[in-house]
Amino acid sequence: MFVDARTVASGAIIQTGICIVGGGAAGITLARALRDSRIPVALLESGGLEFDSATQELETGQMIGLRNYPTDVSRLRYFGGTTNHWSGTSRPFEASDFEQQPSIPLSGWPLRRDALLPYYRQAQDICQLGPFDYDAAFWMHKAGRPPAAFDPARLQPTVFQISPPTRFGEVYREDLKSADNVTVYLNANAVDVQANATASTVERIKVATLGGPSFTISARLFVLAAGGLENPRILLLSRGVQPAGLGNTYDIVGRYFMDHPYFLGGGFVVFSEPDPPLPLMILGMKEPVVPAFATLAATARPEGTAGFQVLVQGIGRIITGVDSLKTVASSFAHLSTPDNLWEHIGNIIRDRDAIADNAYRTIARTRSSWFLSGDKVTVPHAASLDVLLEQVPNPDSRVTLSGMKDALGQQRLALNWQFTDVERRTYRHALEMAALEFGRLGLGRVKIKPLPERGWPDDLLGANHHIGTTRMSDDPKTGVVDGNCRVHGISNLYMAGSSVFPTSTFANPTLTIVAMSLRLADELRRQIA
List, for residues 206-250, the tens digit of each pLDDT value. 999 999 999 999 999 999 999 999 999 999 999 999 999 999 999
Q: For the domain covering 2-128+167-257+466-528, report its CATH number.
A: 3.50.50.60
Residue 15: pLDDT band with limits 50, 70, 90: very high
pLDDT of residue 378: 46
Cα separations (Å) of 23 from 141, 173, 179, 183, 223?
39, 10, 15, 12, 11
- Could you tell me if 379 and 370 are in contact, meaning their C-beta atoms sit under 8 angstroms apart? yes
- Bridge-based pairing of strands 382-389 and 308-313 is antiparallel
Tens digit of each residue's pLDDT (9 = 90 or more) over 295-352? 888 878 899 999 999 998 765 444 556 667 777 777 777 777 676 676 777 777 766 6
- Bridge-based pairing of strands 41-44 and 182-186 is parallel
CA–CA gap between residue 318 and residue 301 (Å, rounded) = 35
pLDDT of residue 374: 38
Please list the residue range(s) of the chain that carry CATH number 3.50.50.60: 2-128+167-257+466-528
Tens digit of each residue's pLDDT (9 = 90 or more) over 113-158? 999 999 999 999 999 999 999 998 888 888 777 777 889 889 988 8
CA–CA gap between residue 255 and residue 506 (Å, rounded) = 20
Tens digit of each residue's pLDDT (9 = 90 or more) over 412-460? 999 999 999 999 999 999 999 999 999 998 888 899 999 998 889 888 8
CA–CA gap between residue 220 and residue 492 (Å, rounded) = 7
> H-helix or E-strand containing 513?
helix 510-528
Tens digit of each residue's pLDDT (9 = 90 or more) over 345-393? 777 776 666 666 556 545 554 444 433 333 444 445 778 899 999 999 9
In Å, how far from its chain's centre is CA 58?
A: 20
Q: Determine the straight-line distance between the first and last CA of the chain, rounded to whole angstroms.
A: 24
Question: pTM (2 decimals)?
Answer: 0.88
> H-helix or E-strand containing 72?
helix 71-74
